[in-house]
Amino acid sequence: MSPASKQLSLLATDEPAPRSAADAVRLLLFNAQHASPDRSRRQVAWVAGQEGADIAVFTEVSSTQGGDALVAALAECGYATVVAPQPSAPDYRTVIACRTGEVQPVPSPVTVTPHRAPAARVTVGGRDIGVLGLYVPSRGPKEQRNVAKRAFQESVTESLRRLPAAFPDMPVIVAGDLNVIERGHQPPHKVFGAWEYAFYDSFRAAGLTDAFRHLHPDGIAHSWFGRSGNGFRFDHLFVSTPHVDRVLACDYHQEAREVGLSDHAVMTLRLSLSPTAGGEGEAPASGAG
């Protein structure tokens, strides 16, 4: 058995799926890398065994047999609600799967290829949160370079301003593979244009905060690696800025990538359902200076 196979056997156990948390939102972001049916089932088995995967957002899901196998496996592994829009023509899509309480799919606010941007209102511990998944197209073939990517990004930027109306008075989480990096990324990558950095900036302008950067202002992390070995932080989790002080943890995990389940690192987020002391307009605790 190869070292990777040994690691995979340790990761994919037959233990019952962890129970959903009632005091915090636990979300996992996973790039499915247009997997085959067999690999899709192994991906789901691994994700379902993770304690932090009460809500799982899958990007780069195929619209053919591999994607269908992923959706079916999610239902079999305890995800009672799976939001999996099917494109009208072959294309990648994004899937939101929940093993929490009530889930209400809502129309995507993104009007261009909305199957890449499903949305849902999820009830956790009696409280509602909004979830938007995103999978931004890559640069595309030479004859259509950046056409689909620009169109989708422009639609997302326009839609972000409507999120408070779609999810009033509740925390909002946007999770996805954006295929862009932030300004000041280490290492720097000259291939990205001003319009791509502006897309990343548009989330903050719309009232969303990069949860990883909020907790790790100087942290260097990568979710995808090119052929040269250079890293890129392509995968992101944003939280509505008024609720960002509720973020308890947000991290990248390389295990699934290292054993070949995906070519991306996994991201996880843990968000408290209760406001933090002194946050969101609360008065500081008695005796505070």
Q: Which residues contact 277 (CB under 8 A, 6 or more apart)?
A: 284, 285
Give tens-digit pLDDT for 201-241.
999 999 999 999 999 998 889 888 877 778 889 899 999 99
With 60 as the cut, is the pLDDT of residue 13 above it? no
Amino acid (one-letter) located at 45: A
Measured CA to CA, the distance from residue 176 to residue 95 in angstroms comes to 10
Do residues 210 and 247 make contact, with C-beta atoms less than 8 angstroms apart? no
Q: Which residues contact 278 (CB under 8 A, 6 or more apart)?
A: 284, 285, 288
Measured CA to CA, the distance from residue 91 to residue 204 in angstroms comes to 28
Length of the chain: 289
Closest to 55 in 3D by CA, of 116, 135, 118 = 118
With 50 as the cut, is the pLDDT of residue 250 above it? yes
CA–CA distances in Å: residue 61 to residues 65, 145, 188, 260: 10, 21, 28, 16
- Residue 39 DSSP SS3: helix
Closest to 37 in 3D by CA, of 72, 83, 5, 84 = 72
pLDDT of 190 reads: 78
Give tens-digit pLDDT for 252-289.
999 999 999 999 999 999 999 988 644 454 433 333 32
pLDDT of 141 reads: 61
Do residues 83 and 61 make contact, with C-beta atoms less than 8 angstroms apart? no
CA–CA distances in Å: residue 4 to residues 10, 56, 75, 115, 127: 10, 24, 27, 33, 40
Give tens-digit pLDDT for 29-82.
999 999 999 999 999 999 999 999 999 999 999 999 999 999 999 999 999 999
**What pairs with residue 266 in β-bridges?**
253
- The pair phi, psi for residue 162, each rounded to 5°, is -95, -5
pLDDT of 183 reads: 87
pLDDT of 143 reads: 62
Q: Which domains does the chain have, with CATH numbers?
A: 7-272 (3.60.10.10)
Measured CA to CA, the distance from residue 178 to residue 153 in angstroms comes to 9
pLDDT of 285 reads: 34
For 18, counting Cβ atoms within 10 Å of its Cβ (0-12 exposed, 13-18 middle, 19+ buried), the class is middle
pLDDT of 14 reads: 53
pLDDT of 146 reads: 79
